[in-house]
Structure formats: structure tokens, C-alpha cells
Amino acid sequence: ESSTNPDPPGLTPIPILHRKEYKKMPHFDFEDVYRRDRQPSKTSLWNVIKQDPELRDKFIPNIRMYVHNGSISMSEWNRLSHFNNPFGFMDYTINLVSKPKYPLLSPKPGRDCISCAVVATGGVLWKSRKGREIDNHDYVFRLNGAVIKGFEEDVGSRTDVYVHTAFSITAVEIFLRKYNYTRAPHDEVWIKYVLIPEGKRDFEWLTGLYKRERLVGGAFPNRRPWTQYSDQFNETRYYVLHMDFMRYIRNRSFLNSSTLNLGFWPIVRPTNGAFMMFVALHVCDRVDAYGFISDDHRKYSNYYYERGANTHVTFFGNHNYNMEKDLWKIFHELKIINLYSGESDPTEPTAPKQNRRR
Ligand SMILES: *[C@@H]1O[C@H](CO)[C@@H](O)[C@H](O)[C@H]1NC(C)=O
Ligand SMILES: *[C@@H]1O[C@H](CO)[C@@H](O)[C@H](O)[C@H]1NC(C)=O
Ligand SMILES: *[C@@H]1O[C@H](CO)[C@@H](O)[C@H](O)[C@H]1NC(C)=O
Ligand SMILES: *[C@@H]1O[C@H](CO)[C@@H](O)[C@H](O)[C@H]1NC(C)=O
Ligand SMILES: *[C@@H]1O[C@H](CO)[C@@H](O)[C@H](O)[C@H]1NC(C)=O
């Protein structure tokens, strides 16, 4: 990992910039500069990515993935203060984060191809019977409302990496109570937790988490963050995504939504599922994706745990679902991922279901 360049003497923080001063996403001449590690990732997936001239120029194999205490100098702070959250620190200042001690995926002795299953929550997984296939991967990634109990046959039961925001880990506990979801996955064998620092509230969360202090005020009053991880929280296995990693995904025309040019640009960002996918793409040799949005998504419920209920993906303005859907399709066609998009059964009528009025 490269060290941070020393700051010139006398460097002070720039004044805080405010999102509301910009009617669309502002541009800076250093917007394509990202923190990088010395050692590029050497997964065999890069050999596939390199085959495609366009993608080869978009992916950065040594992009810095995690942020931690001590990795942000004053000049880094000043650079990142130009970008809105989660891509930078526009509008606020933060307390930092301890440094994880282990690589996200530990090498598997005797295996030179690490296979990953990235499991999102799409309705396509209901009755898929993909559980055993998912569990047979070296590593299983899950996120948000990862309901497992009662769905093992379809979604598997292991979790090695759990991706979340402070909001998602607390909200799903309430919203998914009716699906018997009680808490985040907590496999006892070295589960790793990845936080997407979505905004200021995630840094409040981190402060309580590391200090093991009950939160006072803020977005999560009275919460005791470390208890949300069911006794499996350990800072040596806790990873906070780097702002540059997230901005690289937004910018490198993977997911640079045209809505970034509209007044609500500051809330436009890739979904948690997209961030999870890109984490896997940077650390795995093979990525099999389950429960992600695909062309057929209207045939299924929004979430697998709704058991085929007539709900559909709600297209919230802060995410560009069509752009993500098309990107996964391109990645699948280029064999960068293997996207599970349901078994097409020729005996099934193809006429779309009557959709509930919204
Ligand atoms: C960050 O680093 C400072 C100085 O090294 C240390 O005092 C502080 O405890 C660290 N915070 C965390 C969350 O690791
Ligand atoms: C929740 O668990 C109870 C008791 O095991 C069971 O009867 C019920 O069907 C479950 N609900 C769902 C939505 O799976
Ligand atoms: C966290 O994990 C490390 C090993 O990486 C261990 O030494 C330490 O005791 C653990 N801390 C807690 C609070 O369990
Ligand atoms: C995005 O990246 C491209 C290079 O791929 C660069 O030219 C451009 O300035 C960047 N734009 C933003 C908004 O970050
Ligand atoms: C996204 O990136 C592509 C390629 O760099 C560029 O042509 C396009 O204008 C960008 N879109 C936006 C909204 O910035």
C-alpha cells in the first residue's frame, strides 16, 4: 500500500464546500485522480477485463478500496472535500476509521482461482433452488436485508462478506421483522463487514462503533452500533469503502447517470448492490451474481423473501436502475460476471403479469 505524500508545511483545510451551491454536479480538473495502491490486484478476472479495449481503460486494478485513519493527509482531505458524499467530504468533516488487519478475502490454500457469489435480494431468487450452488463458492457476499432463514434452498446459508450502510443495517431490522429477519448475518468464522459510508450519519455510526459508545443525538439516537453485528464486530475485520473507489465507479462511465446533471444530483449514486458488485470484481477471480436486476425483473417480486408477491422494483430517483441493469448485462456478455437471470421456462406464458397500480 502506498504511503501518503507528506503535506507541504503550513497546509490548512480548504473551506467547506456546500452541495446546494451547485445546480448540477460540479466538475474539477482533478476529478479523474484517484488514490491508488502500489500493488495492482492480480486476480485472473483482470485477464478477462483486459480483452475488452474499452473496459481495460475504465477499470483501475490498483484503485484504493478502503479508507482508514492515517490514510488521509491534509492535501487528501482538501482534494476529497470537493466531492459530495459518499464520494467525498463536501458539506462535512469526519472522524476516521481504524485500519483493517486482513485482506478482505484470505487466500485459500491450494486454490489459485477464488470464486465469489455476490447475492443481492432480487425476487428472481425465489424458488431458484440456487442455494447449494451459492454456498459452494469460496466466498459468499450479501447485503442489506439478507434474509436467509427459511430461504436456504434458494439463497444458501453462508455469508463471508456483508455489505451495508448504517441506515440499511438498522432499517432492515425493522422493515424485515415480518420476514423473521432479526439481525445482520453473523457467521462465526471470520465474517467481514464492509461499510459504504453513505454520508455523515455513517461516520457518527463509526464513532460509536469503534469507541463502543451509545450514540447520543444524530441519526441513530440511543443505538449501540457494535451490538448490531451480533458479537462478530471486530475492527480488524471491518472495512470502510474509500471515497475514491466509489467515485471511480460513478465516473468512469460505468454508472455516470445523466441525472447527475439535474438539481437533485447530490443524492444520485450507484446502489449498494452495485458497490458490492464492484468490490467483488476487484478482489475475486470469478464473480457469479445472483438476485441482481435483469431485463426480466418485472416477472418477479421486488425481493425474494416476498415469495412472489406482486411487488416490483421501485425506481427511486437516487439510483439509475436501468443503467445498472444494462451494465450487468454487458459484463455478463463479456464473461466478466456470470449473471443469474432466472430459468426461462418455454412452457410458461410469456405475457407480462397484470401489474398492481401504483
Ligand atoms: C486514529 O489515529 C489516532 C492517532 O494515531 C488515534 O489516536 C485514534 O485512536 C485512531 N482512531 C481510530 C478509530 O482508530
Ligand atoms: C416466521 O417464523 C414462524 C415461526 O417459525 C413461522 O410460522 C412463519 O411462517 C415465519 N414467517 C415467514 C414470513 O417466514
Ligand atoms: C479481534 O480480532 C483479533 C484477531 O484479529 C483478536 O486478537 C482480538 O482479540 C479481537 N478483538 C475482540 C474484541 O474480539
Ligand atoms: C471521469 O473520468 C474521465 C476519464 O475516464 C475524465 O475524463 C472525466 O473528467 C471524469 N469525470 C468526472 C465527472 O469525474
Ligand atoms: C458518461 O461518460 C461518458 C464516457 O466518458 C460520456 O460520454 C458521458 O457524457 C458521461 N455522462 C455524463 C452524464 O457525464
Q: What is the pLDDT of residues 288-316, one digit of tens each?
A: 999 999 888 888 988 999 998 888 887 78
pLDDT value at 188 more than 90: no
User: Whole-model pTM?
Assistant: 0.89
Calculate how far, in angstroms, residue 173's C-alpha sits from the geometric centre of ligand 5. Answer: 37
Ligand 2 centroid to Cα of residue 149, in Å, is 9
For residue 13, being part of any structural domain is answered with: no
Q: Which residues line ligand 5 (CB under 6 A)?
A: 253, 256, 258, 260-261
Q: Note the ligand closest to the C-alpha atom of 210.
A: 1
Cell output for 117: 457469489
User: Does residue 351 register a pLDDT over 60?
Assistant: no
Q: For residue 75, is it within any domain?
A: yes
Among 101, 191, 234, which is best to mutate for testing ligand 3, by the most ligand atoms less than 8 A from CB? 234
Residue 205 lies in a domain: yes
Higher per-residue pLDDT: 41 or 23 = 23
**Which stretch of 64-73, 91-100, 140-149 has the lowest confidence by average pLDDT?**
91-100
Q: What is the CATH number of the domain that holds 42?
A: 3.90.1480.20
Q: Which residues lie across from 63 on neighbouring strands? A: 36
Expressed in angstroms and rounded, the spacing between residue 106 Cα and the centre of ligand 3 is: 16
> What is residue 96's predicted lDDT score, i.e. its pLDDT?
66
pLDDT beyond 70 at 322: yes
115-119 and 238-240: which strand pairing?
unpaired
CA of 100 to the centre of ligand 1 (A): 13
Kindly state whether residue 61 falls inside one of the protein's structural domains. Answer: yes
Give the ligand 2 atom nearest the CA of 150: 14
Q: Which domain holds residue 264?
A: 19-104+113-339
Indicate the top mutation candidate among 98, 202, 212, 226 to test ligand 1's pocket, ranked by most ligand atoms within 8 A of CB: 98
From 126, 180, 304, 305, give the residue whose CB has the most ligand 2 atoms within 8 Å, as the site to mutate: 180
Query: Is it the case that residue 253 has pLDDT exceeding 90?
Result: no
Residue 238 CB–ligand 1 contact under 6 Å: no
Check pLDDT > 70 for residue 95. no
Contact 165, 196 (CB under 8 A): yes
pLDDT at 279: 96
Higher pLDDT: 41 or 123? It is 123
Report residue 6 CA to chain centroid gap: 31
- Counting the structural domains of the chain, the total is 1
User: Which residues, at least 6 apart from 127, have a Cβ–Cβ distance to it below 8 Å?
Assistant: 154, 308
Residue 2 placed within a domain: no
List all residues whose CB is within 6 A of at least one atom of ligand 2: 150, 179-180
CA atoms of 242 and 94, how far apart (whole Å):
13
Sign of CA dihedral 252, 254, 258, 263: negative
Q: How far is the CA of 208 from the centre of ligand 4 (A)?
A: 36
Distances (CA, A) of 341 to 41, 151, 271: 28, 18, 18
Residue 209 lies in a domain: yes
Q: How far apart are CA 102 and CA 111, in angstroms?
A: 18
Q: Is residue 273 part of a domain?
A: yes
Residue 177 placed within a domain: yes
Distance from the alpha carbon of residue 23 to the mean position of ligand 1, in angstroms: 37
pLDDT of residue 354: 43
Residue with CA nearest ligand 3 atom 13: 234
